Structure 1
Amino acid sequence: MITYPVDIAILAGYFALIFGLLGCILPFVAKSWVWSKTSQFTFGFSLVALLTTWTYMFKYFHYSYLQWQSSTDARPESLLDSLSLWLHSVSLFDDAWRTVSVGTIQWLWSHQLCAFTSTVWMPFLAIEAQRRKIPYAWAYMLLGQVVAISFAACLFFAVMACLPIRPAGTVAFNASITAICAVVGIVTVVVSPFVATGSGFMPNLMLMHAVLVVPLLLPNNWLHPFTVRQSRALAAIYLFSAGANFVNLLQQLIPAIVTAKAQFIPEMISVFMGHPAQSSIGCDILCVNYFCAAWMILDSQSLDRPKQGLHTKMNRKIAYFLCAATPVLSISITLPLYLAWRELSYT
């Protein structure tokens, strides 16, 4: 007999959601595999992201179970009953996010992924899915939230690689709502460390996750033809994101360096490896930085709409420079700068 069947059902539902989202996306990934060698490499990167992040995710599950087991006197009759008691006694989502949010170095790692997803990945998905008529854009965002952003990003890049950009007149977008969501997103990121130990943490975290899908679920009558004006507005969103993320990075980085001093790098490594939840999100951050930087290089070679002297050679130089700067600044700053340039080169 299972003491808490609902808790088992919630965990099962979580994995069912993952497979359901994959069911929406993988048919298009499979087509891209046939049509494009770039897609094949990108899909391979997605498997690397999945392996690294979820190795530590399963370690986190095991760690949490052992912690519960050592603190309880319960004697469950079966493994399923033991799992139900464990799941009922802990809050995996809350515990994991508080672990990676409490502490200067912990949040220095984790805020990069939150900032990237809230202010860069969300508008990128909204416009690029429209440009290439990629269905289920919201599924990539949800998959990133429940599995890993790097995994979902690589799958999206794989589909992008084999689909041409449609003429601007056939693309629809809503820059205003996207901008509002980006502002709300960065506010939730800034607020997170201040509420990380209180009751406001989960509402703020849920708002951060919820606002990410809003621009991806807008009905058609809320979208407008993608004009030069909207393209420039999108470039402005990317520039705002880069600036806001840079300021936020400095606010996290300076106190961490002042506190740790010569031990800053060892402390960063120690925190990264100190808890499996932190290691999982840390791997996601590293994969996002590496894969998106690589995508910048590939994409810069395909820009073929120069205007006013903006040539492919300059696109490549900018992409290589920003790629080299990514380990220092993080992809949450360098990618939106590249995307802003990209939008201006299209107009």
Structure 2
Amino acid sequence: MLWQHVLSLSVFTSYFLAIIGLFSLITYALATSKGKPGALKVATFTGLTIASFAHTWYFMFQYMQWSFAHYLSTHQDLNSEEFIYRLASWLYDTSLFEEAWSYVVFHPLNWWWSEQLCLFTAGAWTVFIAIEGTRRKVRHVWAYMLLGQIVAISVASNLFCLALILSPESTTKNSKNSKAKPRQIHAGPKLWISVLLSLITVAYTPYSTEKTFLPNLLVMHGLLFIPLVSLTDAPSPYSIATRSLYRLIHIASVLIHLRTVVGAVFFLNYATHNAPKQPLIAAWLVLHSNPAQSSIGWDVVWTTISFITWTFMAGKSGPDALGIFSKLYLLCATPVASIGVTAPYVLQPKAKSAPPASAKQD
């Protein structure tokens, strides 16, 4: 076996070890939290974590199996080799990250699914975990982002909701400060610049070339770690109100997603294809067109369910309360506009009413 094959096997093994390590780090932090939340909230998001992980990774393992079989079908000479050699050859010759993303990007209908998750993650969710992670003193916020990128955003978002629920600030500050004078929350330049640049990479993704595709993906993912690696509440003269940042994200997401929807509609009605022209049927068929697409598509669905559940269960009074209009907008607009578009709008009320403690991001 070549040393390159050994290295490929080591990287593949390290990937799963990293997942185990992140789960261990996060679950330990959750288990040692001192908050006293309601049992229903904990049970709900624990169940959503397990369900989203099982569902998305069922398709992820299917994708790996499909990719391995497809590779062997084009390399017949390897059939006589031992399994470990065939596995190592597949890992060495195949960039699973790039291959999987290529299946979910370069088609108008596939990108309609995948963009929803990209917009949510690069936009509202990054701001949400940065601000709330600081405000409620959640440990290892960066680990939730990394887990979301290598496992599933829905899994990471459910675990982060558990972290918020279990934080002492979540169970004590709402009741103490519900009548306190609101103070505006601000986002520092490290946060808002990273988020806006990441949204640009999302908009560019379906137009990337063979040379720029992988670098663009890596930049998109890497930018989201910058504001999370070292969270701080130190003020900055270049900070902007978080409400304004959510508003910018909302406007940008509307424009980006509208372009994608127009492209998908144009393809269904005017391009030559064998897919049905009914949008719902076409979307369902594309969702199951490839295991890689199924994994990220169902991640979109589970992430949407989790976020809606959070907005209705998180807080009914105090700084985390949402108005009836925001809840109706979330329920009615999300199936049409996607969670990437509706989440930043719904999160704006939280930016209006912050606790007395500072929650600025440097």
Same fold at TM > 0.5: yes
Contact 2:26 2:140 in 1 (8 A): yes
* Separation of aligned partners in 2, 1:248 and 1:19: 35
Which residue is 2:246 aligned to?
Answer: 238
- Could you say if the C-alpha distance between residues 305 and 87 of structure 1 is closer, same or farther in structure 2, counting changes exceeding 3 Å? closer
For 2:142, which of 138, 144, 165 is the aligned residue? 138
* Separation of aligned partners in 2, 1:226 and 1:172: 12
Any idea what the Cα deviations from partners look like across 1:179-217, whole Å, max 9, x if unmatched? Answer: 10111011000110111x421001110000000010011
- SS of residue matched to 1:112: helix
Amino acid across the alignment from 2:86: S
Contact 1:143 1:149 in 2 (8 A): yes
* Separation of aligned partners in 2, 1:268 and 1:110: 11
* Separation of aligned partners in 2, 1:108 and 1:10: 31
Establish whether residue 97 from structure 1 lines up as the match of residue 107 from structure 2: no
For 1:148, which of 141, 147, 152 is the aligned residue? 152
- SS of residue matched to 2:318: coil
Contact 2:35 2:166 in 1 (8 A): no
Which residue is 1:322 aligned to?
Answer: 330
CA RMSD of superposed structures (Å) = 2.7
Which residue is 1:203 aligned to?
Answer: 215
Establish whether residue 59 from structure 1 lines up as the match of residue 35 from structure 2: no
* Separation of aligned partners in 1, 2:20 and 2:130: 23
- SS of residue matched to 2:347: helix
Which residue is 1:260 aligned to?
Answer: 268
Structure 2 runs not aligned, ≥5 long: 270-276, 356-362
* Separation of aligned partners in 2, 1:180 and 1:108: 25
Contact 2:330 2:342 in 1 (8 A): yes
Which residue is 2:272 aligned to?
Answer: none
Which residue is 2:301 aligned to?
Answer: 286
Contact 1:33 1:39 in 2 (8 A): no
Which residue is 1:338 aligned to?
Answer: 346
* Separation of aligned partners in 1, 2:210 and 2:309: 39
User: Quick one: higher RCO (CA 8 Å, sep 6+), 1 or 2?
Assistant: 2
* Separation of aligned partners in 2, 1:226 and 1:132: 20
Structure 2 length-normalised TM: 0.85
Any idea what the Cα deviations from partners look like across 1:241-275, whole Å, max 9, x if unmatched? Answer: 11111111110101211321443222211111100
Range with greater deviation from structure 2 (71-80 or 251-260): 71-80
1:300 to partner: Cα distance: 4.6
Aligned residues with identical type, % of pairs: 30
Range with greater deviation from structure 2 (4-13 or 34-43): 34-43
Amino acid across the alignment from 1:11: F
1:80 to partner: Cα distance: 1.6
- SS of residue matched to 1:135: coil
Select the structure that is richer in helix.
1
Which residue is 1:304 aligned to?
Answer: 318
Contact 2:187 2:242 in 1 (8 A): no
Contact 1:123 1:178 in 2 (8 A): yes
1:333 to partner: Cα distance: 1.6
| Equivalent residue runs for 1:28-47 within 5 Å | 28-31=29-32, 35-36=36-37, 37=39, 38-47=41-50
For 1:108, which of 109, 112, 129 is the aligned residue? 112
For 2:71, which of 64, 68, 88 is the aligned residue? 68
1:56 to partner: Cα distance: 0.4
* Separation of aligned partners in 2, 1:46 and 1:94: 26
Structure 1 runs not aligned, ≥5 long: 307-311
1:25 to partner: Cα distance: 0.5
- SS of residue matched to 1:152: helix
Establish whether residue 193 from structure 1 lines up as the match of residue 206 from structure 2: yes
1:12 to partner: Cα distance: 0.3
Which residue is 1:14 aligned to?
Answer: 15
Amino acid across the alignment from 2:98: D
Which residue is 1:309 aligned to?
Answer: none
Which residue is 2:273 aligned to?
Answer: none
1:345 to partner: Cα distance: 3.1
* Separation of aligned partners in 1, 2:188 and 2:243: 10
